[in-house]
Amino acid sequence: MIDFDGFGPEKIFEVYNAKVGMRGFTVIDSTALGPAKGGIRMTPSVTADEVARLARAMTWKCALADLPFGGGKSGIVADDRNITPEKKNEIIRAFSEAIKPICPSLYVAAPDMNMGEEEMGVFVKANGNYKSATGKPSKMCAKPGKECGIPHEFGSTGFGVFHAAMVALEHMGLDVSKMTVAIEGLGNVGSFAAKYFSEAGARLVAVSDSNGLLYNKDGIDYKKVAAVKEKTRSVVNYKPGKVLPSNEIVEVKVDVLVTAAVPDLIKPSNVDKIKARLVVEGSNIPATPDMEEALHSKGILVIPDFVANAGGVISSYAEYMGKNPDGMFKLVKDKIRKNTDIVLKHSEDRKLTPRAAALEIARDRVLRKCKTCRVDKITGKK
């Protein structure tokens, strides 16, 4: 069941096309700061409740990134592994046409699970408005050579994760070139984080995927491991290195642990085994607030997901405003660094976990503009 509180959600749309077999949801959590922003995920099990929780996360993420966007999210109930590409595109077109009354006036779409740049191209063409979605193919332009798409495959999220980590290390008085790093997941986020950490002089000693964990205390060449992953579909085939179970990535003795794959990675059974000094949440909800509190009490600094992985939505804003990729990367760097710094200083001043500090800042930014909220500025209660 969807939870309603003093912030929202403002609107919930459920759409269905019997002829095509399309069923989907769009949740507009908040438009206090601007049109609701959030990706479309396509899975056979997606629900309105799941979409609502993700939409709320986007409200905080956009507010903390200091963007003129509210929070929203969409879901399409379909299994893209068991349908043809043609059928998938037919479903996307039907969904796009169904939510035209709210998109892009109240909601701006983007890629999420099983939806990439090509799918965004299909969505936008069906909608008929270039600004109805971001994360479009770079060849898709509003005008020839101007206002072109900036796909998330450019690596904006991993780039932002790296810069959030850099600010955290500066706050801790640590030199990145002397750090050891472990990265959970070598997908779009983890691969780019590995690249930027390695280029900054850090030693990458552990990477994982669903097939296992590769560990080498002497260091892993990120270019070679990425090539192995591309060729063999797993990091465990990289040599030399020790192969361990994937879930042991949190137990590796490193300075920096970057989460970039599964939710709930850090849990009661392993939270006390974490040896990293800094945990940077590149993935969504890799730990509950209670687990983050446990790490905080042990002196481990945690940069929360909606602070660290906001590079994707900042990239979306850059595309929405017609910037080129260079302008996008500059905006991601500037905003991630600025907001991570603000959160860490607020955390220290208020003696809060970074997540609690970030939520206070995000809520305050929404409340300043919200005309319909019924929420106490400090507690967030009705």
Q: How do beta strands 22-30 and 70-77 pair?
A: antiparallel
Q: Pairing state of beta strands 70-77 and 36-37? A: parallel
E strand map for the chain: 11-17, 22-30, 36-37, 40-43, 70-77, 107-108, 141-143, 146-148, 180-184, 203-209, 212-215, 242-244, 256-259, 278-281, 301-303
Nearest residue to 138 via CA among 326, 310, 283: 326
The dihedrals phi and psi of 133, each to the nearest 5 degrees, come to: -155, 155
From the list 37, 61, 73, 323, the catalytic residue is 73
Residue 42: how many CA atoms within 13 Å on its side-chain side?
23
Is 335 among the residues known to form the active site? no
Q: CB neighbours of 50 closer than 8 A, spacing ≥ 6?
A: 75
The residues carrying an active-site annotation are 73
